[in-house]
Each structure stands twice: as structure tokens, then as C-alpha cells.
Amino acid sequence: MAPAPRLPIVYVRGYAGGTAGIDSAVKDPFYGFNEGSTHIRIGPENEPGFYVFESPLLRLHLDEGYHILVDGSQDNYLATHDTIPPDSIWIHRFYDPSATTWGRAPREFQLETAAEDLLSLIDTIMQKSEAPAVHLVAHSMGGLVCRCLIQKILPDLGRDPRDCVGKFFTYGTPHGGIKFDVGFGLLERLRDVTRINGAEIFGPKRMYEYLTPRALRDPSGPPVNWDPRAMPQDHPWAFPLHRVFCLIGTNPTDYDVALGGLSAATVGPRSDGLVQIDNAYVPGAYQAYVHRSHSGSYGLVNSEEGYQNLRRFLFGDRKVDATLVGARLPQRADTTWQAELLLSVRGLLIVTHERTSAHWCPIQLQDGTEPTAADPAEDGQVSVPLVTTFLCSGLRADDASTLRYALHLRILSLHRRDGVLSFKDHLEQAADFDDILVVDVGADSTAPVPAVSAAWNSAIAGPISTYRPEGPALQDENATPGVWVNDIELPVTAAPILGENTRIRLTVTPWD
């Protein structure tokens, strides 16, 4: 498979607040996409040391050869050059007209205007780079600006979003708006009525206006049960969900330390400090959960976790889906089952995906009495999508013949008595099942059928780092060309909990 052509990347930043916040935001030449971070890691002999993340902007330049083009400004560069390379990064500076620091009357910020200006920038970039589309990378509200472009502005103009947007990646975007855990909805209504600092854009009425094309919009407002997170797929202009990736933060405490935790206390613990977990994704899109805050020193954008997910989604060449299939959980009315999942990629110092109870986002399993809604199975069996991984053959170690990653799977049970959580037989953080599936995918992306091996850590003698797969690769159990499928049996220790037929289904397909 030939590598996909490089597309320009356009970054769209998040909400800045009122005039003071806007004036502060426009001082940054790259709107925050150039902000890195330093952290402390424990190294050999328990000695702490700095771990530096240089910023997404610099890393895309260093790792992927992307150009950062400025001649006084990026706008000036575009205006004075007839051609630009497609592998280039551009910042949508939509807040500039609304700042007071330029010595002119500021323009009131309107999200639809920001989306229209984004389209003008994209058209200019495509025309001068001769690229067929651009990738959109957005933080927070920036993702809503992009969705306004994709779902409203382009359809209203009779244009297909697929003709100008390649892939769409969001960091902590409030796809479902911003809601609060306190006030019984009064705080949201007050925000939307007073329009303080333009924050009504995170309420359902305004979201319906800028996410719905003119031909479909009901002037009386959003219909009952309208879900702002949804990107409808039943229209000619629908943007495919497989081109969308949502990075979800699960650390509320590090977002607003300077504010004494006010924001995190308002939106609740199941959040990144500003956006609740359940509102941070588009249903049906690819997702990754990382223990990062909405922004700040430990924010999503300036994190290694965010960058590695972004890089592999944009430039990977293999996609691996993992699904728990055939499980039959013990049918006990007083028991709820959860799964925890951590995903690690060889060569990275971070976990690229982490869903745990401690971070408020375990995978909820049924109690065995009926199938899950996510992926129904017959006879009460549970079938649950676990995670999608993007791998890039060009990122493997020089001496490695495979792309390796590990799925750490834990199954936990919570017991209830009279509707209340019971701790009689409870062992805190002790899982009923706990093992790691080590997966090796052949690095030859041109091979029609990938060579895939998988082994559970409980069956590997010695450290995982020295393990090398032996014997033939797993067989492809699917007849569809270009789609490799194999069901991996769980260790025998899982049978009393999940049933004897439980498997991890791996599906490998090309990705571009």
C-alpha cells in the first residue's frame, strides 16, 4: 500500500472568554499549538528527572517534516507566495478581529463567522498547495468551529465537506456542550440567557443553530432529545465518522488549580475539569481516553499522550480494532461488571489510552441478562468494542520486525445489596480477571495479509521486552479481502467469570 499523500494541517484553538482573554490569546503567534510542557518522571535508582514535551507544532516539524511558514505572519506568507508545500501547518487566527490590541474597533465574535473564515483559509491553502484537502486539528471550542463548517456552512453552500477535509481530530471538544453537576440546570439557563462572555455557544439552543444546515433547521429550536454530539450520517453531505477522532481528558483536578478547583467542582469529577467525559466525543467516532486536563500545564494539547494519538491517527498505516466477544457474565441481579483497559505502544513512555475506575471512565459491561446495545450478540452473550489502535510501520525500532502494542484488560465486579453498593466481600482494586494481551503486527504495510501474533502475558516466560513470537502467525478467519480477523481465546482463568467462549477479536485493516 502506497503511503497516503501529506495534507496541510490547520489548527483551531479553543474558547478564550471575554475581551481580556481574547487579547491575551492573540499575543501568541501560534495560538497555543506551540506550547510544550515539562514533567517529572522517576528514572533509574528512583531519581526524579525532567520529561520534556516540545509541543505538537515542533514535534510535527521534527518528526514528520512539516513546515512552519511565516513571513511577518502566516497570512502574509500566503498572500506573497503562489505555491506552498502540502506538508505545512497553519493556524486559524479567528480571534484576531475581535481583539482590542490592534488599535481598531473589535468585531464581535461569532462562531459561524469563525467557521466561514476557516473555509476561506482552507480554500486558499488548497489552491496554493494543490492538496485535495486539509486535516483539521482542534482544541475545545475549536472543534465546534470545525463542526459548524462541516455540518452547516459547507452544506448551506452546496459543498461536500469530504472535498476539503481529510481527517478531523479534537482535543477535549465539548461536542455535547458544557453542563454542570450542580444547580439542577439553573446555571446553564443563566449562562445562556445572560450570554456572559459569549458562553451561550455551549448551550443546546445555540449549538442547534450553528450545527444544523439551513434546510433542516426548525425555527422553533432543537427537537426533543436532539443530541448535539451527533454528526448525522443520513444526508448527502455527511462527513464520515471514521475520519473523526476525539481525545477525551479524564483529569479534572489539574485544570483550574489557580481557581481553587471551582470549575472542576462545578462540572463534576467525570470530566477534564471543564468538559464532562460523556460530552467530549462524537458517537461513532474513534476515541481515546487519557489522564489529562482540559488545558494548562497538564493539558491535553501540550501532552505526549495527545500528540501520539494525533500522529498515529493522521499518519498510521494499520488500524487494529479489539472487541470483547462471546462473554457470558454470571447472571446475578446484585452484580454489576466493569472492564478497565490500558493501551501501550512499544517505544512510547506514555499510555495512549486509559479507561479505569480511578479515572471515572471504566467500560460498563452488562450483568449477563441481556446483550449490550453497542454490539448486540445472541443468547445473552456480551460483545463490547474495547479500543481502536492506529499503528505506523515507519515508527518501529530499527531492529524490530513487528509493530507491538499491549492491551491490559481487567474485569471487576461491584456487588449491591438492597440497591446499595456492598463492601462485605469487596477487595479494593483487586480485579476478578487481570492480564495483558501482547499483540505483534507485521510491519510490512505492503503485505496483502498482515502477519499477526498475540500472547497473554501470563503465558510469556520472562519479561515482555525479551519476548519474541514463535511459530506461525495467526490465521485470518475472515474471507473479506483487506480485512484480517482472528479471535484470541482468553486464559483459562477467565472462564469462570466470562464463560468458556469469551475471546478478544482483533481486526486489522489498512489505514491511510
CB 347 within 8 A of CB 402: no
Q: What is the pLDDT along the chain (512 residues), one digit of tens a residue?
A: 556 789 999 999 999 999 999 999 999 999 999 999 987 766 677 777 788 999 999 999 999 999 999 999 999 999 999 999 999 999 999 999 999 998 888 999 999 999 999 999 999 999 999 999 999 999 999 999 999 999 999 999 999 999 999 999 999 999 999 999 877 788 888 888 888 888 999 999 999 999 999 999 999 999 999 999 999 999 899 999 999 999 999 999 888 655 556 677 789 999 999 999 999 999 999 999 999 999 988 899 999 999 999 999 999 999 999 999 998 887 777 788 899 999 999 999 899 999 999 999 999 986 444 444 444 444 556 689 999 999 998 887 777 789 999 999 999 988 776 666 666 666 777 899 999 999 999 988 777 788 999 999 999 999 999 999 988 999 999 989 989 999 999 999 999 888 889 999 999 999 98
Dig out the grid coordinates for 73 from the structure: 505572519
The kind and range of the H/E element at 487 are: strand 484-489
CB 316 within 8 A of CB 390: yes
Q: Is the dihedral of CA 132, 137, 141, 147 positive or negative?
A: positive
| Cα–Cα dist 361/340, whole Å | 8
CB 252 within 8 A of CB 269: yes
Placement of cell 463534576 in the chain: 268
Q: Output Rg (C-alpha) for the chain, integer angstroms.
A: 24
CB atoms within 10 A of CB 78: 18
Task: Sort strands 402-417 and 335-345 into parallel, antiparallel or unpaired.
Answer: antiparallel
Residue type, 8: P
| Cα–Cα dist 102/22, whole Å | 12
Global confidence as pTM: 0.94
CB atoms within 10 A of CB 357: 15
Strands (DSSP E) contained in 360-432 are 363-365, 382-391, 402-417, 420-421
